[in-house]
Structure 1
Amino acid sequence: MSYSSDVKNELARLEGQKPCCEKAELLGVLRMSGALVLRGKNIGIHFSTENAALARRVLQVLKSNYQVRTEVVITRSRRLKKNNRYQVEVLPDSRVADALRELQILPSEEDVKRSNLLGKVCCRKAFLRGVFMAGGSVSRPSGDYHMEIVTETEELARLVLKVMHGFSLSARMTDRKKDYIVYLKDGDHIITFLSIIGAHQALLEFENVRIVKEMRNNVNRRVNCETANLNKVIRASVLQVACIRYLQERGCYELLTDKLKEAAELRLLHPDISLNDLVEFTEGKVGKSGLNHRLKKIQQLAVDKGMDISEYD
């Protein structure tokens, strides 16, 4: 089961929602995936999903808030996985139109008296929960951070985007073929979104995996940094020793001053340590910058005497 399915199953089993929030959630679900069925002068509703928990949720909210007749049809998907598909049917009836007007899916004859289902903060959260359950997905936190809600209408996508912006989420919108996608790519904002819609167990899993992932990345960055520094130390030491040997082999070593000879002998005695560690063997007579300056002068003298150091770059 995918992480998205886990989130949706948790959301579909939430209890104790207020009637206004149940209606706002139902609005989100039906705007995303619902369809109107016309039979004569009466209207019905068709909703289809592969998520059994979501089908039960829609059926429960419909029955507890509206006097409508419902049926559930289970079919076998023809797609590769052949999952069950649950079709919730609200049978055409004059009372269905009243429910759709209250949900603001059908235009009302008295617009002034219409209640705003998204007027409360709790209802806007429920609306986002509904649209996510019906058309959302979120990647596992072990991979790239990505959450998206896919709609077929630009109007609905812009409404979802507006509601998400109202919660200070960095949501963006794009289009893909005939669909409109509202998405988040920031880990912190995805966690905030999961909290807003009530997916607290999924949020904890996301946060735990993210913490482990970031710790692993930090360790890898530190190891890479230390490895790079070690390689730099080794290259510098190898070059310095090679320059000293070059001067010795060509009889130029005696051209060095006493201070440069001290630095050269110190490097030959300790060819595998960093400059910081090498300074400790000077017994405080010279600092890091001074020792580095002397070794640079030895290197320059070797170059002046014809040494090619390009292979040490």
Structure 2
Amino acid sequence: MSFSMLTKNELARVADARRCCKLAELAALVKMDGSLQISGRRVSLNIFNHNAAVVRKVFKLIKEIFSLQAEVLVKKKMRLHKNNVYVVRIPPQEGLREMLVQLGMVKSDGALREGVPGDLVRNECCRRAYLRGVFLGGGSVNNPGGTYHLEVITGKERHAVDICRLLKKFNFSAKVSQRKSWYVVYLKESEQIVECLNNMGAHSALLEFENARIYKDMRNRVNRLVNCETANLNKTVNASLRQAENIRLIARFLGMDKLPPSLREVAELRINFPDASLKELGEMANPPLGKSGVNHRLRKLDKIAEKLRTGSDFPESAAPEVESE
């Protein structure tokens, strides 16, 4: 089962105690998935969804708030790997028109009403319930093990813009994009997705998301540290090999006895301990040297080797005495 499905199943079990919150959540579900069917002067309402738990919640809310007659239908998909579509159908009856007005589907004069009904989301608790409803009606969230992405898809641009504004009231940096004939409201930042799940009431999904995010961040951090250590190790090994090669060149063409004692000591230490770090070489010197002192002398040896390669003239003494460290 996908992470989105688990999240929706959890949200479908969230039950608000206040009527205003129930009304806001049902209004969002009807806005997202509802369809009016008009035959002459008779009007019926159909609400479609692929999730059985969401459909049960829609049916329950209709019964609790309006006590209208409703039925649940199942439309079988003939294509392979297609989920069934569940339909909550409210046939023509007295009280349906009033229900549509209260849900913000139509105005009192019968005209269709677009966007989020402002009178249903005045309170913060109702705004949370409305967000939960739009997610149940057309939302999804990626598995936190992959890319972070939460989105809500609606067919109306005005509704998408209003949902985006509603999210921004909770300080979420939501954005709207168009995907073919649909409008997508989405969040990309993991912290904001976690907070959005919390506001909607998906606390178990939130914990699972956080666990996966922490594991993913820790794995990425370990990989970065390993890559950094590997790069540093490669750099150290390459430098050690270069220094040893230069020292052998000096020994072959110039002779170690021609080097000043300070350079000869460091050169012999590097040849004898090719895997040692600069700090370790400095600790073995007599007297001990710091990393900068060892590095300074190795650089002088590199310069001598470079002059040997280019055929530069050398005085009898290959290099002046290194300043005391």
Equivalent pair of 2:265/2:285 in contact (CA under 8 Å): no
Query: Which residue identity does 1:50 align to in structure 2?
Result: H
1:56-75 equivalent positions in 2, closer than 5 A: 56-75=56-75
Task: Specify the SS of the correspondent of 1:142.
Answer: coil
Structure 2 unaligned residues grouped into runs of 5+: 111-116, 312-325
Query: Which residue identity does 1:116 align to in structure 2?
Result: D
1:119 aligned onto 2:122 = yes
Match for residue 299 of structure 2 among 292, 296, 301 = 296
Equivalent pair of 1:30/1:47 in contact (CA under 8 Å): yes
Aligned length: 306
Equivalent pair of 2:283/2:289 in contact (CA under 8 Å): no
Percent of pairs with identical residues: 42
Equivalent pair of 1:72/1:87 in contact (CA under 8 Å): yes
State the partner residue of 2:8.
8
1:204 aligned onto 2:212 = no
Runs ≥4 residues deviating over 4 A? none
Match for residue 221 of structure 2 among 203, 209, 218 = 218
1:175 aligned onto 2:178 = yes
Which protein shows a greater Rg? 2
State the partner residue of 2:253.
250
Partner Cα distance (2:13, 2:40) in 1: 36
* CA displacement at 1:220 relative to structure 2: 1.4
Q: 1:307 to 1:225 in 2, by over 3 A?
A: farther
State the partner residue of 1:107.
107
Equivalent pair of 1:43/1:94 in contact (CA under 8 Å): no
Equivalent pair of 1:102/1:115 in contact (CA under 8 Å): no
Deviations 1:56-86 (A, max 9, x none): 0000101111142211111211332143221
* CA displacement at 1:176 relative to structure 2: 1.1
* CA displacement at 1:16 relative to structure 2: 4.0
* CA displacement at 1:13 relative to structure 2: 1.1
Partner Cα distance (2:56, 2:67) in 1: 17
**Range moving further from structure 2, 48-57 or 213-222:** 213-222
Structure 1 unaligned residues grouped into runs of 5+: 309-313
1:234 aligned onto 2:237 = yes
State the partner residue of 1:311.
none
Partner Cα distance (1:108, 1:270) in 2: 90
Equivalent pair of 1:233/1:273 in contact (CA under 8 Å): no
State the partner residue of 2:36.
36
Partner Cα distance (1:243, 1:115) in 2: 79
Deviations 1:111-152 (A, max 9, x none): xxx981100000000000000011000011111111111111
Q: 1:285 to 1:224 in 2, by over 3 A?
A: same
* CA displacement at 1:283 relative to structure 2: 4.9
Task: Specify the SS of the correspondent of 1:175.
Answer: strand
Deviations 1:197-242 (A, max 9, x none): 0001111111111112212222111111111111111011000000
* CA displacement at 1:162 relative to structure 2: 0.4
